[in-house]
């Protein structure tokens, strides 16, 4: 099927990616364009919604529900295309996809758009460490990790590479679920270095109680079969290694000629439009603010939802012929689960810098769990009404450039 033959006034809006950002964008758009002549299509490579913030739970076999995207979106009148995006042609305003049929066969398809929201998210980076692709499993391969963990004998060594929020959640989840395994983490920096002193103390104590051995300031040079080799020559043997040292993004934006940063994230202006292709908006892990904007965005669900809701609001504004608004946003907390019984909630300022206060233990877990549930209920709630709101604590916009000021003045008449 193609969406190329349309009546002249129909606005075709295509959303790439069906994670937090893509689904929120699609549902918010459906809410804000009711009664308008629009066609909203979302493309995703999987036909179910993956609650990625719970993937560490899946590594020990606890799978979160995975609702079908066709149901989540269909109820709001959004057309879902199950398929992998293969290319983007901003000049022709088309997207090439490999659409997946009910019998799992795939066939090439071209989708035309008037406005596009790029929300292809991220995945665990494997390319930064030689040997990682061969000898380590990323959290996305949670089923393979769960199978291996269940087979490992007592005393077997599990090495988690990376000690960011995800690495900490993976290591503690495994250590709690499999106390008979020897779980270790390795990081080139210090564990919890972005936390307030109270948070650091609590985190170190929690790791010690769970028996997680921590190798800090140990930069790995490569992985071999069963062995991590540090730059200083030290060796860390393992029976299973799990890669969790940062996120990478799809090459598609760069290949399509969009302005991207070094990592490949689409550079957006304060209105969340690509700085090089204003018909393309980007949100979530796949996007970042252009240089000069007074905010850095952390790759997080906590960022993906507000960005995507705002991008959708702006696309809807263009459909209704009113001026777009700059993105405002601020962080509030950072949450790290430490197994199923405890979590650390670090309060942060709007720019994501740690404040003094933390919540810990079961209280922390209660807060973290309720935030994750609230995220899902917000998405489901958007099927009916635009109810999701986010903290607009910080003016995240750079002073408007001259061209944008002119555009705004024109749009406002």
- Taking the least distance from each CB to ligand FAD, the nearer of 16 and 186 is 16
Q: Which of residues 59-118 bind ligand FAD (CB under 6 A)?
A: 84-85
Ranges within 19-58 binding ligand FAD (CB under 6 A):
19-22, 43-46, 50, 52-53, 55-56
Tell me which of 14, 119, 163, 212 binds ligand FAD, using CB under 6 A. 119
> In angstroms, what is the minimal distance from the CB of 67 to ligand FAD?
12
Provide the minimum distance between the beta carbon of 329 and ligand FAD in the complex, in angstroms, as a whole number: 13
Cβ-based neighbours of 275, under 8 Å, separated by 6 or more: 259, 267, 268, 269, 290
Query: Taking a C-beta distance cutoff of 8 angstroms, is the pair 373, 301 a contact?
Result: no
Helix ranges, 241-393 (H): 252-255, 301-320, 361-381
Query: Cβ distance 331 to 348 under 8 Å?
Result: yes
251-262 b/e (C-beta count within 10 Å ≥ 16 → b):
ebbbebebebbe
Candidates 100-108, 267-275, 280-288, 310-318: pick the segment binding ligand FAD (CB under 6 A): 280-288
Number of H-type helices and E-type strands within the chain = 11, 22
17 lines the binding site for ligand FAD (CB under 6 A): yes
By CB under 6 A, name the one of 111, 171, 223, 299 that touches ligand FAD: 299
By beta-carbon proximity to ligand FAD, the closer residue of 159 and 286 is: 286
Q: What's the token pair of residue 277?
A: 């292709």
Residues within window 139-178 making contact with ligand FAD, judged by CB under 6 A:
139, 166, 169
Q: Rounded to an integer, what distance in angstroms lies between the CA atom of residue 121 and that of residue 264?
A: 11
Shortest CB 353 distance to ligand FAD, Å: 16
* CB 286, CB 300: distance < 8 Å: no
The smaller minimum CB distance to ligand FAD, of residues 46 and 254, is found at 46
Nearest Cα to Cα of residue 193 among 304, 346, 48: 346
| 330 near ligand FAD, judged by CB under 6 A | no
Chain residues that interact with ligand FAD, rule: CB under 6 A: 17-22, 43-46, 50, 52-53, 55-56, 84-85, 119-122, 139, 166, 169, 250, 284-286, 299-302, 304, 335
């Amino acid at each position: 099927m193609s969406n190329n033959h349309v009546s002249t006034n129909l606005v075709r809006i295509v959303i790439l990616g069906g994670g937090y950002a893509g689904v929120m964008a699609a549902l918010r758009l459906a809410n804000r364009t009711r009664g308008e002549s629009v066609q909203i299509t979302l493309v995703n490579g999987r036909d179910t919604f993956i609650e990625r913030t719970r993937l560490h739970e899946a590594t020990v076999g606890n799978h979160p529900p995975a609702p079908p995207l066709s149901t989540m979106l269909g109820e709001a009148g959004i057309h879902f295309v199950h398929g992998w995006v293969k290319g983007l042609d901003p000049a022709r305003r088309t997207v090439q996809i490999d659409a997946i049929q009910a019998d799992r066969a795939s066939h090439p398809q071209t989708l035309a758009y008037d406005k596009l929201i790029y929300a292809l998210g991220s995945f665990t980076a494997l390319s930064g460490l030689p040997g990682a692709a061969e000898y380590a499993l990323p959290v996305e391969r949670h089923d393979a990790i769960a199978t291996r963990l269940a087979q490992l004998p007592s005393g077997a060594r599990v090495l988690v590479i990376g000690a960011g929020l995800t690495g900490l959640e993976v290591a503690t989840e495994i250590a709690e679920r499999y106390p008979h395994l020897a779980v270790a983490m390795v990081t080139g920096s210090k564990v919890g270095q972005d936390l307030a002193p109270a948070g650091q103390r609590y985190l170190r104590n929690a790791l010690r109680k769970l028996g997680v051995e921590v190798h800090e300031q140990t930069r790995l040079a490569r992985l071999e079969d069963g062995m991590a080799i540090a730059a200083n020559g030290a060796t860390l043997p393992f029976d299973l290694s799990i890669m969790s040292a940062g996120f990478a993004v799809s090459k598609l934006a760069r290949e399509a000629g969009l302005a991207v940063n070094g990592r490949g994230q689409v550079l957006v202006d304060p209105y969340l439009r690509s700085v090089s292709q204003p018909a393309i908006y980007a949100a979530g892990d796949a996007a970042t603010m252009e240089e000069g904007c007074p905010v850095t965005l952390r790759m997080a669900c906590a960022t993906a939802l507000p960005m995507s809701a705002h991008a959708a609001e702006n696309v809807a504004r263009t459909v209704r012929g009113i001026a777009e608004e700059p993105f405002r946003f601020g962080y509030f907390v950072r949450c790290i689960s430490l197994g199923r019984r405890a979590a650390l909630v670090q309060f942060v300022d709007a720019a994501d810098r740690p404040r003094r206060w933390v919540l810990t233990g079961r209280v922390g877990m209660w807060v973290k769990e309720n935030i994750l549930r609230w995220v899902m209920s917000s998405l489901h709630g958007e099927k009916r009404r635009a109810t999701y709101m986010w903290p607009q604590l910080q003016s995240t916009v750079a002073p408007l450039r001259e061209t944008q000021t002119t555009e705004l003045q024109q749009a406002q008449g």
